[in-house]
Amino acid sequence: GAGVSQSPRYKVAKRGQDVALRCDPISGHVSLFWYQQALGQGPEFLTYFQNEAQLDKSGLPSDRFFAERPEGSVSTLKIQRTQQEDSAVYLCASSLATGNEAFFGQGTRLTVV
Amino acid sequence: QQQVKQSPQSLIVQKGGIPIINCAYENTAFDYFPWYQQFPGKGPALLIAIRPDVSEKKEGRFTISFNKSAKQFSLHIMDSQPGDSATYFCAALPMYNTDKLIFGTGTRLQVFP
C-alpha cells in the first residue's frame, strides 16, 4: 500500500476487555515500531521488530501488552484486561531499515470506559 | 524522566511570522535529531532532521539550528502560513539504540491569517 495502515481507527473497550490493534506496514519495510501517544503528549516507544524478530520490547508498560509480527509483515498489538490508563492513541511506524526514516500510520485511538 | 524537553507548549503567530520552537537534551549519546509535524487525527510526519556535526540545516521554509555545546536545538519556520498550524515534536535518537526515538512533549502552533 501507499502508507502505513492501522485498524481500527477507533476502539472503545470496557475495562477488563482484551483488544487487538492491527498494523499493515509499507510493503518491503523491515523495521516496525509501536508507540503510545497519550492526549497532549509526545509518542512513547513501546516495541520494535526487525522482520519477525521482536528486538526491543523495553517500552511495553506491563505484561498485559503483547505484540507480534509472525510473518515479518503485518503486526498486532494486543492489550489484555484493558485499564483506563491504557486509553491513548497507538501509533505504528515502519522503515526500510534501522536508522532510516520511519513513516507513521494514522493511529488507533483506544478509549477504555 | 524527560530526556528531551520542548518549549513552548503552545504558540500563536500571525501569517508571515517566524515561530521558534526549542528543545534541550541531556544525553550526549543522542546523535540524530528529527522534527515531526502532526495534524489532528494523523500520525507524525518527518519534517526535517539534523546530525550534531552541523550547526544549521535548511529545507524550504524550515530551519534547524543546533548548539552541540549547549545541548539545544530549535526549529524556525520562515514566512509561516495558516497551513503550518499543527503540533510539532522534536525527537532524538541514541547512537546505541537506533530503534528508539525519544520525543519531546510537543508544541501546538496556530498561525492566523
Cell of B75: 526549529
- Say if residues B44 and A104 touch (Cβ distance below 8 Å): yes
User: pLDDT tens digits, residue range A19-64?
Assistant: 999 999 999 999 999 999 999 899 999 999 999 999 999 999 999 9
Contacts with B32 from chain A: Cβ below 8 Å: 99
Q: Name the band, by pLDDT with cuts 50, 70 and 90, for residue B105.
A: very high
User: pLDDT tens digits, residue range B35-56?
Assistant: 999 999 999 999 999 998 999 9
The total domain count for chain B is: 1
User: pLDDT tens digits, residue range A69-107?
Assistant: 999 999 999 999 999 999 999 999 999 987 778 899 999
User: How many angstroms separate the Cα of B1 from the Cα of each of A7, A51, A95, B17, B93?
Assistant: 31, 30, 27, 33, 16
What distance in Å separates the CA atoms of residue A89 and residue A43, rounded to the nearest whole number?
A: 9
- The candidate with the shortest Cα–Cα distance to B42, out of B81, B85, B105, is B85
Contacts with A103 from chain B: Cβ below 8 Å: 45-46
Domain containing residue A31: 5-112
Report the CATH number at residue B97. Answer: 2.60.40.10
Give percent of chain B above pLDDT 70. 96
Nearest CA in chain A to B95: A99
Under an 8 A CB cutoff, do A42 and B45 touch? no
Domain containing residue B21: 4-112
User: pLDDT tens digits, residue range A36-45?
Assistant: 999 989 999 9
Cell of B37: 509535524
Report the CATH number at residue A93. Answer: 2.60.40.10
Sign of dihedral through CA atoms A109, A112, B1, B5? positive
